[in-house]
């Protein structure tokens, strides 16, 4: 194979992808069978099968038990707006993760104490084995699952205070900045790193995705005078949402 020449299965997948994108194969249409692909493109069964696998891995088609492979509905991506850590009027957990004031949503959560592993300890500048409060969130917009978040707070900061449980007490359901301020911890900086990876099975189950779908992961950390006081992994379905940053100029 010369430089730049594609393997046969990628050429076949590319042509089928083009037909899906331009509407020649609209949503809910059955993908040509393996035998038809073989005949139409003059390729082997192996090449036809691999081409179908590529389209399935890309989330363009889905298999239906006993029926065949069909073109998936392609959602129009919506924005997840992010704008730092000081939204006007305070922040609920949903508003903390979706800063667009026009968007309304709900959340479910569960908190439990845990021990910090090595990677988490490094993010929070604590020792491995130190106790943290781990809170898992599922966020919904108009009833549709849109985002997951797992946050960790060092109990050395919040332990035995009214804000130890993020969703309980006098400030339950408020954002990190407001809760920390209540115990005289002033958040003055936040960092976010955005990456992408295949979604884990349990993540895709909660978000309504299928195996192979890619998710965006926002790794966020709040700081008070240089000390990390909360860190979180925010998981967003990449096929349905785009992360948009709106940052003030100082």
DSSP 13-45: HHHHHHHHHTTSS-TTPBPPPHHHHHHHHT--H
How much is the pTM? 0.77
Q: Residue 4: what pLDDT?
A: 54
Q: Which domains does the chain have, with CATH numbers?
A: 8-71 (1.10.10.10), 78-245 (3.40.1410.10)
- Residue 242 and residue 214 in contact, taking contact as beta carbons nearer than 8 Å: no
pLDDT at residue 126, rounded to an integer = 98
Q: Are strands 227-237 and 78-82 parallel, antiparallel or unpaired?
A: unpaired
Give the residue from 186, 114, 177, 104 showing the smallest Cα distance to 139. 104
So what's the pLDDT on residue 3? Answer: 47
Q: State the SS3 of 114-166.
A: EECCHHHHHHHCCCCCCEEEEEEEEEEECCEEEEEEEEEEEHHHHCCCCCCCC
pLDDT at 1: 47
What local confidence, expressed as pLDDT, does residue 171 receive? Answer: 87
Question: What pLDDT sits at residue 89?
Answer: 58
pLDDT tens string for the chain (250 positions)?
Answer: 454 578 999 999 999 999 999 999 999 999 999 899 999 999 999 999 999 999 988 878 888 878 889 998 877 788 888 876 655 556 777 877 877 777 788 889 999 999 999 999 999 999 999 999 999 999 998 888 999 999 999 999 999 999 999 999 888 888 899 999 999 999 999 999 999 998 998 999 999 877 778 899 999 999 999 999 999 999 999 988 999 887 776 6
Give the pLDDT score at 6. Answer: 82
């Amino acid at each position: 194979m010369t430089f730049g020449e594609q393997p046969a299965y990628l050429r076949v997948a590319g042509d089928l992808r083009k037909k899906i994108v331009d509407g020649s194969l609209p949503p809910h249409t059955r993908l040509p069978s393996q035998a038809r692909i073989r005949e139409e493109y003059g390729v082997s069964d192996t090449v036809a099968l691999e081409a179908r696998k590529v389209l399935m891995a890309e989330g363009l088609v889905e298999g239906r038990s006993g029926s065949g492979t069909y073109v998936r509905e392609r959602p129009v991506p919506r924005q997840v707006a992010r704008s730092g850590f000081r939204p006007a009027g305070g922040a609920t957990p949903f508003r903390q993760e979706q800063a667009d004031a026009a968007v309304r949503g709900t959340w479910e959560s569960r908190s439990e104490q845990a021990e910090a592993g090595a990677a988490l300890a490094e993010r929070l500048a604590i020792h491995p084995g130190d106790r943290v409060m781990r809170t898992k969130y599922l966020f919904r917009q108009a009833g549709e699952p849109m985002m997951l978040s797992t946050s960790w707070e060092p109990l050395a900061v919040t332990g035995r205070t009214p804000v130890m449980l993020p969703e309980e007490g006098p400030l339950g359901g408020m954002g990190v900045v407001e809760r920390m301020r209540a115990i005289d911890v002033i958040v003055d900086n936040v960092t976010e790193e955005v990456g992408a990876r295949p979604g884990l099975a349990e993540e895709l189950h909660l978000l309504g995705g299928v195996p192979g779908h890619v998710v965006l992961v926002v790794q966020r950390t709040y700081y008070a005078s240089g000390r990390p006081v909360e860190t979180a992994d925010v998981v967003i379905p990449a096929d349905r949402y785009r992360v948009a940053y709106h940052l003030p100029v100082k």
